[in-house]
Structure 1
Amino acid sequence: MRAQSAQTGLKEELRSLLALAIPVILSELGWMSMSIVDTIMVGRLSAEAIGAVGMGNAIYYAPALFGIGILLGLDTLVSQAYGRGDFDECHRWLSQGVYIALAFTPVLMVFLWAAPLAFPYLRINPAVSQQTSDYLRVLNWGTLPLLLYAGFRRYLQGVKRVGPVTFALISANLINWGGNWALIYGHLGFPAMGVRGSALSTCLARVYMAAVLIFAAWKNEAGRGHPLFAHWPGIALERLRGLLKLGVPAAGQIVMEVGAFGAATVMAGRLAPAALAAHQIALNCAAFSYMVPLGTSAAAAVAVGHAVGAGDGPRARRAGWLALAIGVSFMACAAVVFLLAPHAILVIYTNQEAVVEMGVPLLALAAAFQIFDGIQTISTGALRGLGETRMPMLANFAGYWIFGLPLGYVLCFRHGRGIFGLWTGLTLALIFIALVLLFQWRRDSSRLALATLP
């Protein structure tokens, strides 16, 4: 009877986790789809255009995601407050996240405006650098709505209101697709803007996403008789410090990870345009499959945080392991697809045979790291639910910047392995990071479960 009861409880927890994870996964897929649509639609222009959009996004997202990463502390603070039943506290943490978004925006915009000035010193292929600069300068104007969207998203996920996040991202893809069609190629009376049109379309989609989530948060607060802006808290320095204490290491982890792939893209920019295009397409595919464990990771952070807030350590531990099982199962399937159907995937992006030929072995390398990529990102989310954000940052720093990128550089430029050398270094780095973070989760969650047993 006790075993049957435990099995029933596990099924309930799995259903609860999936109810949270599936909308978040759809949101992450919607987020990634915007980048994929951009890449596909400029792919009909030239290999240089594909490389320019890929490099522009790589350069943009490393610093921009630092600002988004700081707001990841809301996962821990809002979800734990919600687990305790303290809904006013959730609202207070949201307000501090908005202040951080407003403060970081001008800093990020200045940095991103200046980034193209470094292209000549990085020896970026001249055929790509000018289009990259054009794309990046326009994309920069979407920074504030992007950070506001990130803050309101963490709040809504923490209070189990994930539906609006999914709706915002799926509908934003339609706006982005229509904007790309009109602005890249010059339809509906608009001038043909090329890669700049793609960037402008993305900015408009971001404004829309931020507006949808702000409205959803307002509606959620009004539903409990506490209008969002009628009782908006002021700046609270102690709370800001608490949010930054969790958020800065989380942001550092994201920058280490995204920055590593961005650095690899910059290195690939020194190679032929076909190699850069193949790198960008394969990276797009790997990033798309990564959205499922990334969404599961966010759900794990919230589910673990709710359990910690409620003082239930064993439930927190089970939530983390269930999330890992979901993510690893999916990534194993993704690896099989990359191995069995690489050509069918690549021709979606481009009709250039040289790019397709180089992309096939890159997708094979992506298949090799799929499971490890799932382990590392879900372990990161589960640890964030516990309030641990430093170890993921340190593991990513050591794995990518001390080991993986230097190895990839040597294999690429010193041993003549080209783009495949770069990807070999990234693959080995992911394996190392996954093993470190899995061990950390196993240790920390076991201690918590033992400490809170009745």
Structure 2
Amino acid sequence: MHKTKTLTDKSFHMIKIVVPILVTQVALYLMTFFDILMTSKYSIYHLAGVSIGSSIWVPIYTGLTGILIGITPIVAQLMGAKKKEDVRTFVQQGFYIAIVLAFLVFAAIILLIDPILQLIPLEDSVRIVAKKYLYMMSIGLIPLFLFSVLRSFIDALGRTRVSMFITLLSAPINIVLNYIFIFGKFGFPALGGAGAGLASALTYWLVLIIAIMIVYRNKPFTEIAIFKNWSKPSFAKIGTLSKIGIPIGLSLFAETTIFSAVTILMSAYSTAVISAHQIAMNFTSLLYMIPLSIAMGATILVGHEVGAKRYKDAKTYSWLGVATAVMFSFISSSILLIFREPIASIYTDDEYVITLTVQFFFFAALFQLSDAVQAPVQGALRGYRDVTVTFIMAIISYWIIGLPTGYILANFTSFERFGYWIGLIVGLSLGAITLVSRLIFLQKKLSKKPI
């Protein structure tokens, strides 16, 4: 990527990187979005089952792909330092890690899903749907993790529009397959929630094939030739990837599991409450794609600048990302507050569920600002390859303070089910404050280094 001189140049360059990432993230997210939406049209019990299954699946997927995301800052810094020869080896080591992770998760789902679901107080019909949904999703584990490696490589080269093109194809494919397998069309049986899992798994396979074809045949990817001259597994390079990737994965896991934990704790309430909570969380997650995409762009941009030892430019990109995300957070909050009822009505016709969802949306609007700060700051820190302290901060903010606060408010005050959402606000806000402090400290430290 080229060096930028003015703030205007940096702004346009960031937009060029971030917008395709945003489209990509939305397309990926739409798979889960349409799983929830289309299943809600099939049955409220299947919706609850997919919600529980998704609450188990998303943190696992997010945490483990977070490990693979470690490839992005490593490759970005190598490209910034003009060390292209090392990129191929690191990407190939990422493939080895992806395959191992896929088999480990598959084994865990087969062996542990029944005991885990038995621990959750659910109606039997909901538990069965959740189990079948996860079984079907596991068919797509290998392509999902391999694609994560390819995408990290593609994005690190600044070719985020390529990832966008590949992933954009996934949404319509997934919608068509959902229609076929959830509702039983073209001679296939109606599988409900299990059909949503199968549709997603098959989509992952198709997307991986498309990605391999593009990387194998097109520049600048052919210049690095990641599918040629295969290196043997290297414990040293796998160790480097793990040192960066594992804290990223654990940090993402800590963040996503708090939301999943809240969903599981919500199972103490009625199926209608679970469904309303999941609808609110589902739409809020769509809005989160904006700060998340800015964060991923910040990792790439900051990584390149740090690799080139342009620390001042890295600092500018860091705070430019935060300012942009904060600006959009006010728009997101307005959408949630003004259009609460129409949005809820998209998901369900059940009046009681709509009423509950509208109430949850109010609290969702409150943590938009915290998301807008903590996500891009986290992304910038990954660009600096500063990930371990970030993970520790996430654990403290979300699990030691945020979730216990929510539990106390939900079980010992009149807030009841909404107490968990207040706990989320507390955890996210504290996380944002501590991460900003860490970024400021790191940038001051690097500013003293000779260029």
Q: TM-score range by the shorter chain?
A: over 0.9
Say which of 285, 308, 311 aligns to 2:309: 311
Give the structure 2 partner of residue 248 of structure 1: 246
- Between the aligned partners of 2:123 and 2:399, the Cα distance in structure 1 is 24
The C-alpha deviation readout for 1:109-143, integer Å capped at 9, x for no partner, is: 12122223222223233342111111111111111
Checking the alignment, whether the CA contact within 8 Å between 2:87 and 2:224 is kept in structure 1 is: no
Unaligned runs of at least 5 residues, structure 2: none
Give the structure 1 partner of residue 58 of structure 2: 61
2:169 match: secondary structure: helix
Say which of 70, 82, 100 aligns to 1:73: 70
The CA deviation at 1:43 is 0.8
Greater mean alpha carbon deviation, residues 142-151 or residues 86-95? 86-95
The TM-score normalised by the length of structure 1 is: 0.95
Unaligned runs of at least 5 residues, structure 1: 1-6
Code of the aligned partner of 2:158: K
**Does 2:339 correspond to 1:341?**
yes
Give the structure 2 partner of residue 213 of structure 1: 211
Give the structure 1 partner of residue 8 of structure 2: 11
- Between the aligned partners of 2:43 and 2:221, the Cα distance in structure 1 is 50
- Between the aligned partners of 1:433 and 1:141, the Cα distance in structure 2 is 35
Say which of 231, 234, 257 aligns to 1:233: 231
Aligned length: 448
- Between the aligned partners of 1:56 and 1:201, the Cα distance in structure 2 is 15
Give the structure 1 partner of residue 23 of structure 2: 26
- Between the aligned partners of 1:52 and 1:97, the Cα distance in structure 2 is 33
Checking the alignment, whether the CA contact within 8 Å between 2:140 and 2:200 is kept in structure 1 is: yes
- Between the aligned partners of 1:350 and 1:73, the Cα distance in structure 2 is 39
- Between the aligned partners of 2:64 and 2:302, the Cα distance in structure 1 is 23
- Between the aligned partners of 1:410 and 1:146, the Cα distance in structure 2 is 37
Give the structure 1 partner of residue 107 of structure 2: 110
Residues 102 and 223 (structure 1), Cα distance of their counterparts in 2 relative to 1, 3 Å cut: closer
Give the structure 2 partner of residue 298 of structure 1: 296
Code of the aligned partner of 2:376: I
1:291 match: secondary structure: helix
Checking the alignment, whether the CA contact within 8 Å between 1:317 and 1:449 is kept in structure 2 is: no
CA RMSD of aligned residues (A): 1.7
The CA deviation at 1:223 is 6.0
Greater mean alpha carbon deviation, residues 69-78 or residues 173-182? 69-78
Code of the aligned partner of 1:124: L
Residues 385 and 261 (structure 1), Cα distance of their counterparts in 2 relative to 1, 3 Å cut: same
- Between the aligned partners of 2:322 and 2:170, the Cα distance in structure 1 is 29
Residues 169 and 419 (structure 1), Cα distance of their counterparts in 2 relative to 1, 3 Å cut: farther
The C-alpha deviation readout for 1:331-354, integer Å capped at 9, x for no partner, is: 111011101110011111111111
**Does 2:33 correspond to 1:36?**
yes
Code of the aligned partner of 1:372: S
Residues 309 and 225 (structure 1), Cα distance of their counterparts in 2 relative to 1, 3 Å cut: closer
Code of the aligned partner of 1:394: I
Code of the aligned partner of 1:49: H
The C-alpha deviation readout for 1:154-184, integer Å capped at 9, x for no partner, is: 1100011212211122111001000011111
Checking the alignment, whether the CA contact within 8 Å between 1:221 and 1:228 is kept in structure 2 is: no
Code of the aligned partner of 2:216: W
1:427 match: secondary structure: helix
Give the structure 2 partner of residue 418 of structure 1: 416
1:59 match: secondary structure: helix
Say which of 86, 91, 96 aligns to 1:94: 91
The CA deviation at 1:105 is 1.2
Residues 209 and 446 (structure 1), Cα distance of their counterparts in 2 relative to 1, 3 Å cut: farther
Identical positions, percent: 26
Give the structure 2 partner of residue 369 of structure 1: 367
Give the structure 2 partner of residue 85 of structure 1: 82
- Between the aligned partners of 2:301 and 2:221, the Cα distance in structure 1 is 23
Greater mean alpha carbon deviation, residues 185-194 or residues 299-308? 185-194
The CA deviation at 1:88 is 2.0
The CA deviation at 1:442 is 1.8
Say which of 39, 43, 48 aligns to 1:46: 43
The CA deviation at 1:38 is 1.1
- Between the aligned partners of 1:427 and 1:79, the Cα distance in structure 2 is 33
The CA deviation at 1:99 is 0.7
- Between the aligned partners of 2:222 and 2:29, the Cα distance in structure 1 is 33
- Between the aligned partners of 1:391 and 1:225, the Cα distance in structure 2 is 36
Code of the aligned partner of 2:271: P
The TM-score normalised by the length of structure 2 is: 0.96
